Amino acid sequence: MAAAQPKYPAGATARRLARGCWSALWDYETPKVIVVRNRRLGVLYRAVQLLILLYFVWYVFIVQKSYQESETGPESSIITKVKGITTSEHKVWDVEEYVKPPEGGSVFSIITRVEATHSQTQGTCPESIRVHNATCLSDADCVAGELNMLGNGLRTGRCVPYYQGPSKTCEVFGWCPVEDGASVSQFLGTMAPNFTILIKNSIHYPKFHFSKGNIADRTDGYLKRCTFHEASDLYCPIFKLGFIVEKAGESFTELAHKGGVIGVIINWDCDLDLPASECNPKYSFRRLDPKHVPASSGYNFRFAKYYKINGTTTRTLIKAYGIRIDVIVHGQAGKFSLIPTIINLATALTSVGVGSFLCDWILLTFMNKNKVYSHKKFDKMVDTPASEPAQASTPTDPKGLAQL
């Protein structure tokens, strides 16, 4: 017959639980070193340590340069200047006419094709047939005084013949004739690939008090005879328009007819632990507008030139297609600093312990003699009073831990 188990009063059980919870607050834990002679586990442990060290040495310190203090987004100034002339039917175009705006900022447009509507004056004329609800059969189809925000003027209430063909549209009061009725197209792109663009850029990293520009410091007229070459003329930022379009992977003829936006990206990645001569600009070019989306590809804008004929205000409306250049400056500078170096070294040394954690988990979970390892790894020492004899225990090796 089995011996009866002793029963403890409810209060005693609660006190034992309370003592167990409180003891966790003042218990001290210290690592215990156990040598497990298992070749596969040892190889895994060293392999994990090696991978962690390689990650920190190669990627964190060499690739990412995490021992440096860094600054992104340099202060930057950009000045541009375009030179060249081109021709269209019966006209020569110079820089003052085909570059908009003329101030020479980081964003500018070079006109390559125009649709001009000459001699517009304030008066009445047929509305454009492309305007919604502009076509009509009689005056009853046109509401006098109606103003269409997408149209060209105020409707007079009359239905009149269109500029050409048998169609009729509602008459409007505004700048006449409207654009569709009398526009003349002119192509300026014949000589445009040879236009030269000077892009003057200077940057400053305030944290490191470092400044540099992209133009060579020479006084021998170097800029008057050079064009950009990545290997031989890096500090001659004079680019041909055809070169920019080609590097962006575009067809110049197609771009000149429909228009588009090209980004000139200047990247200043500087390791300031090296001499200043090692901090050089890197140029890249790509198209910024989505050319594969017909609704939003291309680039055009309108402007007008006003003059008077016999006291009457007259204008020429120009719809211009062109290549817009956006100069964008990026960069990052880094320099050795003790604080990030110490932080990353400490992280690396701490991460090496992941190998021990992984091997312990394998031992306690998957090895055949995991209970033996658990018995050896976790010991509980009780601090006995001096009056009581200490019970010395000699660790044993039940069933042989060395055989794991």
CATH of the domain at 368: 1.10.287.940
Q: How many CB atoms lie within 10 A of CB 128?
A: 20
Whether residue 19 lies inside any domain: the answer is no
192 and 300 belong to one structural domain:
yes
85 and 210 belong to one structural domain:
yes
In the predicted model, is pLDDT for residue 204 greater than 90?
yes
Go through the chain and tell me how many residues it has.
404
User: Residue for token digits 């008459």?
Assistant: 171
Whether residue 246 lies inside any domain: the answer is yes
Overall number of domains in the chain: 3
- The tokens describing 88, both together, are 């269209």
376 is in an annotated binding site: no
Whether residue 23 lies inside any domain: the answer is no
199 and 321 belong to one structural domain:
yes
Exposure b/e, 99-115, CB count within 10 A at least 16 = b: beeeeeebebbbbbbbb
Tell me what the mean pLDDT of segment 251-257 comes to: 93
In the predicted model, is pLDDT for residue 336 greater than 70?
yes
Closest of 215, 206, 205, 195 to residue 78, by C-alpha: 215
81 is in an annotated binding site: yes
254 and 331 belong to one structural domain:
yes
What is the reported pLDDT for 20? 62
CATH of the domain at 236: 2.60.490.10
96 and 243 belong to one structural domain:
yes
189 and 305 belong to one structural domain:
yes
Whether residue 12 lies inside any domain: the answer is no
- The tokens describing 103, both together, are 């101030």
* Band (279; pLDDT cuts 50, 70, 90): very high
What is the reported pLDDT for 8? 53
300 is in an annotated binding site: yes
336 is in an annotated binding site: no
143 and 197 belong to one structural domain:
no
pLDDT in tens, 6-53: 555 656 666 666 666 666 566 666 666 777 777 777 888 888 888 988
Amino acid letter, residue 338: L
Residue 156 and residue 173 in contact, taking contact as beta carbons nearer than 8 Å: yes
- The C-alpha atoms of residue 122 and residue 90 are separated, in whole angstroms, by 28
Lowest mean pLDDT among 52-61, 174-183, 235-244: 174-183
Distances (CA, A) of 120 to 17, 48, 174, 305: 97, 79, 9, 10
Which residue range forms the structural domain that includes residue 148? 128-177
Tell me what the mean pLDDT of segment 260-271 comes to: 96
Q: Kind of pairing, strands 312-336 and 260-271?
A: parallel
What is the reported pLDDT for 125? 93
187 and 307 belong to one structural domain:
yes
319 is in an annotated binding site: yes
pLDDT in tens, 267-278: 999 999 999 999
199 and 251 belong to one structural domain:
yes
Whether residue 5 lies inside any domain: the answer is no
Residue 327 and residue 244 in contact, taking contact as beta carbons nearer than 8 Å: no
100 and 203 belong to one structural domain:
yes
- The tokens describing 156, both together, are 């007079």
- The C-alpha atoms of residue 113 and residue 137 are separated, in whole angstroms, by 36
Residue 151's contacts (CB-CB under 8 Å, 6 or more residues apart) are 127, 128, 131, 134, 172
- What's the whole-number average pLDDT of the chain? 85
pLDDT in tens, 129-150: 999 899 999 999 999 999 989 9
60 and 78 belong to one structural domain:
no
Whether residue 402 lies inside any domain: the answer is no
328 and 233 belong to one structural domain:
yes
- The tokens describing 256, both together, are 């000149």
What is the reported pLDDT for 11? 60
Whether residue 303 lies inside any domain: the answer is yes
Give bridge partners of residue 75 from the DSSP assignment.
204
302 is in an annotated binding site: yes
